Chain A
């Protein structure tokens, strides 16, 4: 049943997102072609500074600035639009008129939730890959390739432990942290906020937005309080030494703090998931 739910949830969101990401890639290819044409034009014109060439160079320059501005707005827009669209679709599917069908299907609340989560994850990965590919289309040149490859090599060398255990741990923890924070924490918080919003008598969407930001602020306060109350959890390494340089205390900033953060984020994710499940099974009120 989860596979079937995923299939229909995927279909319901993918048309618009595929078009949006296709446009981004097409825009990147157009930019790449324009850069190539401008490069050839500059190479052919050599050092001649006649009025015609100067005007063309100015037009190319202005075009490039406009292109880059639109590109940056497009990249930020597409990432936010993807998140927002997926969240809106989740809300509509569960709590709008569509919810009358979704919530009368003979499937458990867990499957309904996991189907939404998996579609969210899939599109987040596709979104990331498309944005990365788009940047690579525009940035990969024989001159820039060595630096890009160096960057990748450095990342994978760190991740595979070729640069020492400390760096491996740090890279792994940072990587895991990002994954857990986005894929578990953000996704479950989004779902939970939507479910909480459904409990509002009116303005359910506004309720979901308020819940999302409210919980985020609450979570930040809890995290900050914990960090202040328990110094070893702090991500900032605090070293207290004597005048002679002898270390009296050395707290925070280590693996312990990173692991603690990961566990906290995971715990929050579990609480949000269970909360969403509770609302769907015990507090559902489709008005």
Chain B
């Protein structure tokens, strides 16, 4: 089985600041992986590199053996940490947009999730609260039958009740063969759904391990380990 994600000496610098420093690792498909690290550790930079929104300064990144490009964008579903939706669009317009551009988009699934969240498809995005817009974005991203989901801080800006909904949405709507990469620093909220974790700090990979191993071999929760590793 080929890795779904592979980084080789991947480096990203913003001027003098190094966001990622020669990181090398690979992730196998079919798992929910937590990309965990404190603020400014390089999580968002890594996810942007996977999605072709940034170009590496050095090194390479491969998604299912391919460099980020038109081909990988067909099967990578990306949730950024900000709202990217056009405010002039209605929810049904943006669903039409996703259906037009992504062959793997499941319109019925999207409408079903909207209904469960009491979001009116005829509502204009410009009239919605930030939290509702984030839910719409998550629905759009999770309504794709993608091979890799990159979710950047999907629960950072929402209330605890919505967090539960978001996490259950993620679990219910992904295919077993697909991979989900969740970037977050809210460990306790996500650790129950994770299979593996990648700890990242100051642009370096500190640790890659399975949650099972952390719990049973080290006898700690991921949250406790995170606090130990990233202790200030």
Partner of A12, one of B51, B70, B84, B86: B86
A107 touches B70 (CB 8 A): yes
A103 touches B52 (CB 8 A): yes
- A88 at the binding interface (Cβ < 8 Å): no
B80 touches A8 (CB 8 A): no
- Given the interface pairs A8-B97, A282-B55, the reply to whether A100 lies near B84 with Cβ below 8 Å is yes
A108 touches B52 (CB 8 A): no
List chain B positions with a Cβ less than 8 A from chain A.
14-15, 48, 51-55, 70-71, 73-74, 76, 78, 80, 82-86, 88, 97, 100-102
A196 to B71, CA, bound (A): 26
- Given the interface pairs A107-B101, A284-B53, the reply to whether A15 lies near B73 with Cβ below 8 Å is no
- A106 at the binding interface (Cβ < 8 Å): yes
Interface size on A, residues (CB 8 A): 24
B84 touches A101 (CB 8 A): yes
Chain B CB within 10 Å, residue with most, of A12, A106, A287:
A106
A1 touches B101 (CB 8 A): yes
- A283 at the binding interface (Cβ < 8 Å): yes
A284 touches B100 (CB 8 A): no
- Given the interface pairs A105-B73, A285-B54, A287-B14, the reply to whether A100 lies near B88 with Cβ below 8 Å is no
- Which 7 pairs between the two chains have the least Cβ-Cβ distance? A100-B84, A106-B73, A101-B84, A286-B53, A106-B74, A100-B80, A4-B100
Partner of A97, one of B78, B84, B88: B84
Q: A106-B101, A286-B48, A287-B14 are in contact. List 10 more A-B contacts (CB 8 A).
A: A1-B101, A12-B88, A15-B88, A97-B83, A97-B84, A100-B84, A103-B51, A104-B78, A283-B55, A286-B53
Partner of A101, one of B55, B85, B100: B85
Residues of A within 8 A of B48 (CB): 286
- A52 at the binding interface (Cβ < 8 Å): no
- A201 at the binding interface (Cβ < 8 Å): yes
A98 touches B55 (CB 8 A): no
- Given the interface pairs A97-B83, A286-B48, the reply to whether A105 lies near B101 with Cβ below 8 Å is yes
Partner of A201, one of B15, B70, B73, B80: B15
A101 to B51, CA, bound (A): 10
Main secondary structure, interface of B, reads loop
B85 touches A104 (CB 8 A): no
Residues of B within 8 A of A8 (CB): 97, 100
Please give me the residue from chain B that is nearest to A111 by CB atom.
Answer: B70
B51 touches A104 (CB 8 A): yes
List chain A positions with a Cβ less than 8 A from chain B.
1, 4, 7-8, 12, 15, 97-101, 103-108, 201, 282-287
Please give me the residue from chain A that is nearest to B137 by CB atom.
Answer: A101
Residues of B within 8 A of A104 (CB): 51-53, 73, 76, 78
Please give me the residue from chain B that is nearest to A16 by CB atom.
Answer: B88
A100 touches B54 (CB 8 A): no
A-B contact pairs, 26 of them (CB 8 A): A1-B101, A4-B101, A8-B97, A12-B88, A98-B84, A98-B86, A99-B53, A100-B53, A100-B78, A100-B82, A100-B84, A103-B52, A103-B53, A104-B73, A104-B78, A105-B101, A106-B70, A106-B71, A106-B74, A107-B101, A108-B70, A282-B55, A284-B55, A285-B54, A286-B48, A287-B14
Please give me the residue from chain A that is nearest to B94 by CB atom.
Answer: A101
Residues of B within 8 A of A98 (CB): 84, 86
Residues of A within 8 A of B78 (CB): 100, 104
A282 to B54, CA, bound (A): 9
A73 to B84, CA, bound (A): 36
Residues of A within 8 A of B80 (CB): 100
A285 to B97, CA, bound (A): 24
A100 to B15, CA, bound (A): 22
B70 touches A284 (CB 8 A): no
A285 to B54, CA, bound (A): 5
A287 to B53, CA, bound (A): 9
Please give me the residue from chain B that is nearest to A107 by CB atom.
Answer: B70
A104 to B82, CA, bound (A): 14
Chain A CB within 10 Å, residue with most, of B74, B78, B80, B84:
B84
B102 touches A106 (CB 8 A): yes
A285 touches B55 (CB 8 A): yes
